[in-house]
A and B are shown apart, each in its own frame.
Chain A
């Protein structure tokens, strides 16, 4: 899922300057699960913003609404009235949600309440790590199910750099070296030989480097 973190109250309140009212829009999917932009967080943030605005000598009226997903127009339509009921919208969706809301309400200012971080997993309570960059050409079949594009700090395709040490990445002793993980997996699976094969130079057009991407599926249209 997409992992995001709430921006500081300070940054949010400054972006809201000049507005008297705001709808805090939660999102019911990823950001609810990673506890940054769900209904609970939206209610808490809305209250905090009102108090903060007051303490700064201003006045901000907030309300909260929670579309099932901000990345589907259907759900934005469903919540149209609530979403449009204030001067501006503070979206607690990921970057996609913020932008889709801006499309839905062309005459309204839509502000981000979160920093969208990455596609990742939940490893422990309050602990998420990045797993996928959405590069558009999955090579996990060749690397024992560990992504070197994302999890190697240098996106090495053919083995570890010289900085790998005791299983950790050179950039930080708390970060696993992706190639150590790949090695461990492949060894365990008895497929170490496959690592001898050279992964050829990549075509990054499938990734963001090819420009903004879209997927058109005729079979479901």
Chain B
């Protein structure tokens, strides 16, 4: 039904703490890949982000994979980057997504194509992520397309954006977050958090600006399966992984990395859910999606609330 709300929105609006994860679509046309992941996550999480050609590697479209997830019991958050589509294609695809019953949308700039498997391609960037949020808000509130003409039955997505609490310059990143929320973001997912103390400091600024009251702030975490994976994460620009956590992983010793990774993730979840202004947790278990049910269960998040 038009205007009906998705699960994620209902949970957040009820004041319950949301739990979400990711489904990365396959680099193929294999529907079973998505169906299998959805079946593992069904009933465990409130929603799953379905990435849009993440790191600019060609994958099954976010909308198609989202649809497969939704008919297999997991509410998706469609992702849309500004990299690959102009405003005509974006709006067209989103009308289609909404018509398929998809209700959540996360808007991103998108990783530059030089990182992916088609560095030879042209990029688009007709609109930026803030302009896109603003246009989609206008579409749902005023029923107009970006070009100004009327849309009789607009797509009314629950709109999300991303933020990196550790990106610099911090002052400018906060300005950008304010703009995203002003433009239309109703929920904001953070980059992976390892340094809870630093994140607390950041949240204090977010709270002092009242941003946590204008949009749901959802804290992101990454689960690492090996020493190498946490070491690599530490090297990613914009990621802040305290040495102590890397050391903790190392001290666990070969053979125990996966259980230590889980234990670190559980600690992070426990700490983050207590931070004032955090409305949910988003688990990024890249390449290790099967661990999500364990994390959710051990964190005491089950059963997931059902809100009518």
Interface residues, chain A, with chain B CB atoms under 8 Å away = 153-167, 170-172, 179-180, 183, 187, 192, 195-196, 198-202, 204
What residues on B are CB-neighbors of A202 within 8 Å? Answer: 126-127, 131
Answer whether A163 and B111 are a contact pair too, CB < 8 Å, given A154-B128, A155-B128, A158-B131: yes
Q: Nearest B residue to A164 by beta-carbon distance?
A: B167
What residues on A are CB-neighbors of B140 within 8 Å? Answer: none
Give the Cβ gap from B83 to chain A, nearest Cβ, in Å: 7
Q: Nearest A residue to B130 by beta-carbon distance?
A: A158
Give the Cβ gap from B207 to chain A, nearest Cβ, in Å: 18
Q: A153-B112, A170-B115, A198-B134 are in contact. List 14 more A-B contacts (CB 8 A).
A: A154-B112, A154-B123, A156-B128, A158-B128, A158-B131, A162-B109, A162-B191, A163-B238, A165-B238, A166-B237, A180-B172, A196-B179, A202-B127, A204-B126
What residues on A are CB-neighbors of B123 within 8 Å? Answer: 154
Residue among A165, A192, A204 having the largest count of chain B Cβ atoms under 10 Å: A165
Whether the Cβ atoms of B178 and A163 lie closer than 8 Å is no
Interface residues, chain B, with chain A CB atoms under 8 Å away = 82-83, 87, 109-112, 114-115, 123, 125-131, 134-135, 146, 162-164, 167-169, 171-173, 175-176, 178-179, 182-183, 191, 237-238
Cross-interface CB contact of A163 among B82, B129, B135, B237, cutoff 8 Å: B237
Whether the Cβ atoms of B178 and A196 lie closer than 8 Å is yes
Whether the Cβ atoms of B126 and A170 lie closer than 8 Å is no
Q: Nearest B residue to A162 by beta-carbon distance?
A: B164
Give the docked Cα–Cα distance between A204 and B115 (Å).
27
What residues on B are CB-neighbors of A199 within 8 Å? Answer: 131
Answer whether A154 and B131 are a contact pair too, CB < 8 Å, given A161-B109, A165-B168, A165-B238: no
Give the Cβ gap from A77 to chain B, nearest Cβ, in Å: 38
Whether the Cβ atoms of A201 and B134 lie closer than 8 Å is yes
Give the docked Cα–Cα distance between A206 and B134 (Å).
22
Give the Cβ gap from B45 to chain A, nearest Cβ, in Å: 23
Give the Cβ gap from A3 to chain B, nearest Cβ, in Å: 21
What residues on A are CB-neighbors of B191 within 8 Å? Answer: 162
Whether the Cβ atoms of B130 and A195 lie closer than 8 Å is no
Give the docked Cα–Cα distance between A180 and B168 (Å).
9
Whether the Cβ atoms of A163 and B134 lie closer than 8 Å is no
Give the Cβ gap from A150 to chain B, nearest Cβ, in Å: 12
Residue among A155, A160, A161, A192 having the largest count of chain B Cβ atoms under 10 Å: A161
Give the Cβ gap from A197 to chain B, nearest Cβ, in Å: 9
Give the docked Cα–Cα distance between A161 and B167 (Å).
9
Give the docked Cα–Cα distance between A179 and B172 (Å).
9
Give the Cβ gap from B114 to chain A, nearest Cβ, in Å: 5
Whether the Cβ atoms of A201 and B168 lie closer than 8 Å is no
Give the docked Cα–Cα distance between A160 and B123 (Å).
17
Whether the Cβ atoms of A201 and B111 lie closer than 8 Å is no
Give the docked Cα–Cα distance between A81 and B253 (Å).
82
Whether the Cβ atoms of B126 and A165 lie closer than 8 Å is no
Whether the Cβ atoms of B237 and A201 lie closer than 8 Å is no
Give the docked Cα–Cα distance between A157 and B176 (Å).
11
Give the docked Cα–Cα distance between A195 and B130 (Å).
13
Answer whether A192 and B175 are a contact pair too, CB < 8 Å, given A166-B168, A198-B134, A200-B131: yes
Give the docked Cα–Cα distance between A161 and B109 (Å).
7
Give the Cβ gap from B171 to chain A, nearest Cβ, in Å: 7
Whether the Cβ atoms of A170 and B175 lie closer than 8 Å is no
Give the Cβ gap from A103 to chain B, nearest Cβ, in Å: 28
Whether the Cβ atoms of B176 and A201 lie closer than 8 Å is no
Give the docked Cα–Cα distance between A171 and B109 (Å).
13
Cross-interface CB contact of A200 among B114, B134, B175, B178, cutoff 8 Å: B134
What residues on A are CB-neighbors of B129 within 8 Å? Answer: 156, 158, 161
What residues on B are CB-neighbors of A156 within 8 Å? Answer: 109, 125, 128-129
Q: Nearest B residue to A156 by beta-carbon distance?
A: B128
Give the docked Cα–Cα distance between A200 and B112 (Å).
22
Answer whether A201 and B135 are a contact pair too, CB < 8 Å, given A154-B128, A160-B172: yes
